Each structure stands twice: as structure tokens, then as C-alpha cells.
Chain A
């Protein structure tokens, strides 16, 4: 069995199953969390609280003006690589084919040259963010192995993807195998580490916004 056959077969299947089990594990854990009792009377009714939650989902994208001088560059870099990842995942023709294979959904892909350019910008912004994380004393203190592992497991699929598009450093089947395997690794880790924010970021923001709104705090 070749590396590609392993990547497309058993490794892919195992990572998908671990991903599904991990997501179910996390959701079950969240659903069974002991709820904090609220003793104060709510300041707003449910509709207003839901609006507050929805508002928080969006307002947290942009930091308060006072924070811009300190974190503005990081926010822009972070936004760049997140948008880049979105374009790569949902705009790359081979990725759309995978999505189509499992969901039946399809849409026009972006030209290969655009995806390669976006991949390059994404890699550059990720490297810049890593350098900042390592060099900034507070960020370094706050960072755990999870942060670095999550960064690596996102970085590798983008790196192998851009190499695959060029087919210069190795044969297509080897690069495709490495690309799929790197994605398999990310899929396995996603439910268990900070990458889970990809699925929970809006739920978390929404719940926090509802809680704040209940108390009458600004969201």
C-alpha cells in the first residue's frame, strides 16, 4: 500500500471517524456542563438577550479603539490568514470537489493562480503571527503546547497544498499524500484543542453576549 493509498484510505477514514467522535465528545461535554445559577432578575427579556448575543458574534471581530495600537497588526494578520483559509478551503477547486463528494453541494472555484497567491499570503501571515507569539513576552507566557500544535497543524496543510499546486519538490502522488495526511492530522486534533473554535466561536460569543445582555452590560 502506497503512502497515498494510506492517506486516501485508512488514514482518511480513521481521521474522519476520530473527528466525528471528538466533536460528539465535545458537544456532549458542553451540553452536560453544570449551569451557573442566575440569582439576579434579568435586566432584559429573551428577545433582547438574543439580539445581544447576535450582536456580540459580530462586534468581537473588531477590537475596541483603545486596543488598536497594541494589537492592531495582530488582528489584521489574523484576519488575513482566516480569510485566506476560507478562500483556500471554499475556493480551491479540488476542495470543492471533496465537499461535493460528501454533500452534493458545489460552486465555481477560484483560479488556481489566485489560490496559490492566497496560500502564500496566508503562510506569510501565519509565520508573522508565530514570530509575534514567540517574541511577545505576555503572549509567550499565555501560550501553551496547544497553541503551537494548532498553529502547526493548520500551517502544514497550507504548506503542502501550495507545494502540491506547483509539483516542483516531489511527485504529485507524494505531495498529494502529504497534503491529505497533514489535513488528516488537523482533523484528528480539531475537536480536542483550540482549533475547536472553528466550530464554537460563534456559539461561545453568542452565549456570552446573551449573558451580558441579561445583566444589562454593553455587548
Chain B
């Protein structure tokens, strides 16, 4: 971010060349991105050519009601990768966790970025937005997240809602939701929004979306929940390497039984893979090393809306969300009262049988 102004006129090819990375590496990256985006292989050269010609694009990143886990995940890496260079290539003009500026100078850089890129900047958001009591529960520089979103989203070209909190409200929205937290799409209806949910989201998904945007000047196809279809079109279950055990009916019953040691399906231990749309099972984490199911724990469905309120992580999908004994008692009382009233009404309309023997 520090040398953002210096790079503003430079193309990606020039910037990569200055770092000793040639066209072949860019083509490899384009092939990987095209594959992960489910694009035909033939499009990779075009994608690489477009990437090479592309100019820096301003990104303003706002962190709202969040834990910084999304930023940590997306920006931490064991070694510099071309993905990171893509992040370097975008002009990340405002990011509170990473930027050196603070206080009034930070606010000035935000205003400058908006003024210089009106209608063109990408607005990235992590964290939910508290709405109760005028959004007083999360402030930045004395301004509520709610007011900042309304103000800054107005001139954005598109909005990237990064992480489940920004996409769907996430854990802050979980019952009893004391701050009235909501996701971006609950507040912004007139902008193109891309949801990249996950707690945290898979970093390569953000790389892919940015690469697509830089390459083609538009955002990738989205599903009904505004998630990139290429990454969220299939469930974890569909891509899971333990799927064969599910089909064979081989399930681990506890976390340390023979089935667990054999790597059998974790469905009965509460795995939410069958209902969770994400790319964890295909892209995996930590440079493709593993993902939760591979580590022996079921998917908790963290990229799905309201995952925190969808029952126990350790209750299988077979069961529904319990209604509670109090409600069951009320239902029984209502039923008894209604049944008794109906029966007594019916009795009053039928003649009594004779009392004496005939």
C-alpha cells in the first residue's frame, strides 16, 4: 500500500517482470485460475493476456463487526506467491489492519481513494453490520459501520462481502443477535455484490474472483446467494474424498473408533458437508495441504447462512432443529383444551342414554 501511487500506471506484466516473474509463470497462474473458476482451458491464454495488460484497480477494504480472522487468513502465507502479487497489484487504498496510517491521515486516505476512483473502486468488506440503535455498537473514527457502508457503497463499482459475517451476518447475527447484525446484502440492494462466505473464507476464492475481475472487467457468474458459482456450485459432500464411504454406508460412530481411524464418513458425527457449499474439499487449506474433514473433524457448515444457529455441530443432518419442551407443552395443552371442548360440545348435542335397565 505504501507505493500505491508509484504503481498506478504500471501493467501487471511490467510489475511481474520487475520482480523477475515471466510470461510463462503468468500463463501458469492463468491456467490455475481458469481451472479453479471452471472456465475452459482454452481461455487461459486470453486470461493471461488480459492480466498482463491490466492496470491497477483501487480496492477499499472496510472491516466492520469482525474478528480479523478473514484478513489474517487471506493475507498470511508461508511464502510469496503469485496470488499475493495479485494482491500487491490491486491498489489496496484503505485497510485498517494493514495500513500504516492512522487517525486523521487514515481518514484522509479513504476520502482521497474514493474521490480518485469514484464509480470504479471495488469495496471489500469483512464483518457484519450492526443496525440496532442506529448501529452504535461498532464505530470507526466515530462513524457507525452502517453510515460508512451507506456512504462508501454508493460510489463503488461492486462490493465483495468477504467472510460469512459480511455475506450473511455470521456469528454476530447468531441468536440473540444483540446488535442487530446483518450482512451487506441486507442493506445494499442497488450494487453488484459478490459473497465469499466462510469462517474464514478460502483465500484462493478471493484470488480467483479478483483475477477474473481484472482479466475480464466483470465479476464471475454467481449463484442465488451471490456466491461465485465456480467455487460454491458444489457441496463439500460432493467433492469430499470420504464420499465413497458415505455411499458404502461406512460411518465413524465416535471420533476415536475404528471407523474414524479408517477415515470413514463423518456424517453421523454431525458433518454438515452435504449441505455446505464451498471449495474447501477441492482447494484445501494451507497451500492445498488439508481441510477439516481430512483432519478428522466434520464440516461445521461455516460458509452457510445462520450456521451458528442451525443446531449442534455434532448432531447429524438427519435430525431437525428441536422445538423445545416449553413449546411442546404449550402445543399439548392447546390440543387437550381443543379436543376436550370439541368432545364436550359433541356430548351436549347427543341424547343421554337411559339410566335404568330396559
Contact = CB atoms under 8 A, between A and B. Distances in A.
Contact of A29 (B320, B323, B343): B343
A17 B320 CA distance: 13
A12 B275 CA distance: 17
A1 B305 contact: yes
A194 to B, nearest CB: 18
Contacts of B354: 37
Interface string A91-123: 001110110011000000001110000000000
Nearest to B328: A20
A173 B305 contact: no
Nearest to A171: B235
State the majority secondary structure of interface residues on A.
Answer: helix
Please tell me the size bucket of the interface on B.
Answer: 35 or more
A22 B318 CA distance: 24
A94 B318 contact: yes
A25 B338 contact: yes
A27 B342 CA distance: 12
Given A8-B321, A39-B357, A98-B319, A29 B342 contact: yes
A75 interface: no
A27 B352 CA distance: 22
B275 A172 contact: yes
A32 B340 contact: yes
A26 interface: yes
A12 B331 CA distance: 14
A49 B111 CA distance: 91
B116 to A, nearest CB: 40
Please tell me the size bucket of the interface on A.
Answer: 35 or more
Contacts of B327: 13, 17
A65 interface: no
B350 interface: yes
A26 to B, nearest CB: 6
B358 interface: yes
B274 A25 contact: no
B320 A13 contact: yes
A21 B323 contact: no
B334 interface: yes
Nearest to A19: B331
B331 A17 contact: yes
Given A13-B327, A34-B347, A172-B235, A20 B321 contact: no
Nearest to B333: A24
Interface of A: 1-2, 4-5, 7-9, 12-13, 16-18, 20-29, 31-34, 36-37, 39, 93-95, 97-98, 101-102, 111-113, 171-173, 176, 180
